[in-house]
Structure formats: C-alpha cells, structure tokens
Structure 1
Amino acid sequence: MLLTRTIPVLLLHGHGLNKTRQFDYWKYLGDPVNAVRIFNEKEVDELIVLDIDASREGFGPRIKEIVELAGECFMPMCYGGGITDLEQIKRLLSEGIEKVSLNTAVHTTPSLVEKAARDFGSQSIVVSIDVRRNADGRYSVFSNCGRKDRGIDPVAFAVQAKNLGAGEIMLYDIDRDGMKNGYNLELIKAVSDAVDIPVIACGGAGRLEHLSEAISAGAHAVAAGSLFVLIGRLDAVLISYPPQAELEKLYAGSGVFA
C-alpha cells in the first residue's frame, strides 16, 4: 500500500481558480469545480483548497462555495483561509471537509489550535507554516498570505504548533512557490527532524522527481500546484495527476510502503 500522499493544491482568488508565483503574479486557471471533477477522475490521494482572498482581505470562509466544492470532491479535502474561530471549524467539518488548515490564526489566537484539537481531534487540524528568507537572509515565518514577517524561526514554530495539538504541518516555501525549481530540502529536513507529526512539503515542485526528493528529505506528504495545473514552458493550463502505479515506482526508493 502506498503511504505517501501526493496532494494537489488549489488556490481560490475571486470566484475562480488561480495559481501564484511567490504568492503573487496571479494566473487564472478556470472554474474550481471543474478542476475538482477532473481530480476525482484521476483518483488523487487528497486535495488542499486555500482561499487566499480570505486571508488577505480579512473575511471568513465562504461557506457556500466551499460546501459546493466539498459536494463534488470524492477524496479527502483540507480547506484553509479566513478561519478564526471554533464555530467556523465546526461548520466546515460538518459540511464534509475532512481537515482545516490554520495559518494567520495560529499567530493571533494560538489557543484556537488547542481548542480545535481538543474538540475535533488533532487529525483534523493542519497548521500551515509559510516560510521565506527575510531581509537578514534567515528563514522566517510569515502570515497574512506572506505579507507579515513574524520574525519566528520555522523549526521552533513547528514544534510550538505540534505542542498546541496540530496533527500535521504544511510547510510552504514562499520563495519557491510557482518557481518549479524543487522543494527546499534543507528546510523540510530541519522541520521533519524536529517534530513527530506528518509534514506536508509545498512550494517548488516542477517535475515528478522533486516529489521523491522531498520524501527522501523527510516529508510525509508532498503538495504541489503548478505541477498539477500547468504544463510546458509557457505554463498552459492542464489539470493532471500521475497514475498511482507511476507514483509507486517514483517513491519506491524512499521507504514509503507498508
């Protein structure tokens, strides 16, 4: 059985699906419902949906649109964006979302992670850690969709998130987002070595080989946007996902089979 999860990431901007580069430079991809239907056909392991507008503009989850997506989604779905309280988490989970991803709220209300893990189980709570190099050249945690430097070391923050009750860490390298030059293996290893909960690597995948590199570096799962929604030098829009047999072969040397 294949244990490693390979997860497409869909970014909501406005009422459409978009892809960013370094959390900027929006490229419109189309209707998110159509993308979800295609991923259903391709039998993806899991899906992460992030509403970037909610974090940037400061509004809560757009429940109606998220419920529509969840209704079309035949695989486990994780949602993040604008979540600030327990009632929102309860509503999302009751509407068929399997996990919620918390980012900015972890900084403003860290007790939310503790309360959510207590009420709904750690397996439902993902803490998303956005990282980039700051002006001093050091890795730092950012929030508010990459706009606010929190001045926190990502390894220390991952440990804090785990201690608060997070069931998973999504480690997102902003500098590599959409660049297709591979994951930040150094950062993945440092965070994975520091916590005993699953780490989802995100940011930088441009080839399938990059996925296995991240797993070898210590990630428990790999997430990607561009790799699964764009193709070619000109970044034409194409929703794709490799067959499970190809993923099994890809991960064969990474020790991920039961």
Structure 2
Amino acid sequence: MSKDTLAKRIIPCLDIKNGRVVKGVNFVGLQDAGNPIEVARRYNDEGADEITFLDITATLEARNTTLAMVRNVAKEVFIPLTVGGGISSLEHIYDLLNAGCDKVSLNSSALKNPDLITQGAKRFGSQCIVVAIDAKRRTNGKGWEVYTHGGRNNTGVDLEQWAKESCERGAGEILLTSMDCDGTKAGYDLEQLRAISSAVGIPLIASGGAGSKEHILQAFLNGADAALAASIFHYQEIHIMDLKQYLKAHGIAVRI
C-alpha cells in the first residue's frame, strides 16, 4: 500500500520543560500551556490520531526523558504515543517503550551517532523509530541545513541528504520541523515538505507553522502524511474534530 492511500494523521505535540507543556516562537520565548497529563488526556478524548511528547531541554541538560512522566501519560492515552528528548542509547529506547510509549523520536543523538537509527530499527522495528529533523533555510536561500540541541547548533548537514540517510538506515518516519516557520502560525514550509516527501519513501510528519485549517490542508496536499501542531490545539483555536471534518470535506482521508 502506498503511503498516499493511508489516512492522514493529526498529531498534537507537547513540548515539555520542567514538567510542564510549553510553547514558543522560532524555538524561543516559551510560555506555559498546561499539565502534560491533563493536556494529553484532552487530546485523546478530542480525537487526535497520535500524541508526540518532546522533552525539549533533555539533550541540552544532558539527561534522559523523565520515565515517570511517560508512564503517567501512557496510562491516560489510548492512541499511539511518541516520545523524544535526550535519547542516546538502545537502553533509553527500551526503557521508554517499556514505560508505555509506542515510538521514540531521535534528533541530536541520531546525528551524533547515526548507527543508533540502524540498531534501533533492527532491535525494535522501524515502526518504533522516528527521526526528528529541525531544519533552517540557508542564508543564500538554497536548501536547508540541519540543527541540533533544540535548534541551537547548526550542523552544516544538508537536510535532504540527512533525510535520505535516515530512511536508508531504517527510520520508520521523519518528523520535519521548519525552524523558519515554527510557532509563527504563518503556515508550513511547503517547498521543504515537497522536497523531502519526494526524497524519502517513508511517512513524513510536517511540523512548524500551523495557524489555520487551510495550512494543515496545504501540508497534506504538498507531501505530508501527518501534521503536527501545538499552539493551535493547546489554546483551542482549532478543535481536532472540526479540523478533521474540514479536511474530509476537502477530499483528505482522515479517521473520524
């Protein structure tokens, strides 16, 4: 079955800092958006297809994602849960899957040690391994470079090249965040989505820039298999079932 025939997924993203859900613009200016367990439970009840839970300062603070919090959230949600932040070994992956998440998201650690993708996919299955990529357009406007450590470090690595390598190493999905669009609510980077969707043969999750139902529709029309968003859902500007009805009315296959 080609990836185009599958239902498109709506994924609220919970960025976690100091045990709270936070949201910023272009990776800075973080504001509190609630208790992770309560927010996750609400999304489960509102019809989200999955939830992504990112401990955004774990890598920077050189620590693992909080297992207790993952356990508590996993008890409350009955849809797939992806967890990322500070995951740097097969043991971390095992512990998180054991704590109740369905997939892990690898970002800085995968760039530092690409074998982690290969080994993780071999040991736990590709369906468990999501490679998260934070990318910013080059200053000359040609293509994008990959950043790590919550968007603080420019690796100089080409986005398309890294997406292809992640795919070849066994990643089951790519979670692509446009740093230029993140938190702006001005829409996803559609050029970036088209480029990466045509470069890889695995599902692509669009992240960074959702501000309206139309933006999410456009992401799906430009190569995304899932749309990840935060502030529009956290602040209840858009309700998930309203969004799904809108998408369905525009010919997008979604789970109602």
TM range (shorter): over 0.9
Whichever residue aligns with residue 150 of structure 2, its letter is C
Alpha-carbon distance in 2 for matches of 1:174, 1:74: 30
> What one-letter code is carried by the residue in structure 2 that aligns with 1:201?
A
Alpha-carbon deviations, 1:183-222, whole Å to 9, x = none?
0000000000001000000000000111110010011111
Query: In structure 2, what is the Cα distance between the partners aligned to 1:193 and 1:90?
Result: 32
Report what 2:207 is aligned to: 202
1:250 aligns with 2:247: yes
After superposition, the Cα gap between the structure-2 partners of 1:118 and 1:252, relative to the gap in structure 1 and judged at 3 Å, is: farther
1:39-58 Cα offsets, whole Å, 9 max, x none, are 12212110000001102211
8 Å CA contact retained: 1:216, 1:254? no
What's the offset of the Cα at 1:133?
2.5
Provide the secondary structure at the position in 2 that maps to 1:91: helix
Q: Which residue of 1 aligns with 2:228?
A: 223
Cα distance, 1:255 vs structure 2: 5.2
> Partner of 2:185 in structure 1?
180
Bigger drift between 101-110 and 58-67 goes to 58-67
Deviation at 1:15, TM superposition (A): 1.5
Partner residue of 2:56 out of 47, 52, 57: 52
- The one of 3, 8, 13 equivalent to 1:9 is 13
In the alignment, residue 33 of structure 2 is paired with which amino acid?
L
Cα offset, 1:145, TM superposition: 0.7
* Cross-structure match for 1:213: 218
Contact 2:247 2:254 in 1 (8 A): no
Per-residue deviation at 1:242? 2.2
Measure, in 1, the Cα distance between the counterparts of 2:59 and 2:74. 20
- Per-residue Cα deviation, 1:224-245 (whole angstroms, up to 9, x for no partner): 0111112xxxxxxx4863217x
For structure 1, which segment, 97-106 or 56-65, has the greater mean C-alpha deviation from structure 2 after superposition?
56-65
Corresponding residue SS for 1:219 = coil
Partner of 1:235: none
**Structure 2 residue 116 is matched with structure 1 residue 112:** yes
SS at match of 1:55: coil
Aligned residues: 250
Aligned to 1:149: 154
Equivalent residue for 1:36?
40
Q: Within 5 A, what are the aligned runs for 1:155-174?
A: 155-174=160-179
The code of the aligned residue for 1:247 comes to: K
SS at match of 1:65: helix
Query: Structure 1 pair 65/47, CA: closer, same or farther in 2 (3 Å)?
Result: same
Structure 1 CA distance, aligned partners of 2:88 and 2:105? 11
Three-state SS of the structure 2 residue aligned to 1:50 is: strand
State the one-letter code of the partner of 2:185.
K
Q: How does 1:90-105 map to 2 (within 5 A)?
A: 90-105=94-109
Aligned partners of 2:68, 2:140: CA distance in 1, in Å?
42
Gaps of 5+ in 1: 231-237
Q: TM-score, normalised by structure 1?
A: 0.91
3-state SS in 1 of match to 2:59: helix
Which of 148-157 and 121-130 deviates more?
A: 148-157
Q: Deviations over 1:158-204 (max 9, x none)?
A: 00100111000000011211100000000000000001000000000
Q: What is the aligned partner in structure 1 of residue 197 from structure 2? A: 192
Unmatched tracts of structure 2, length 5 or more = none
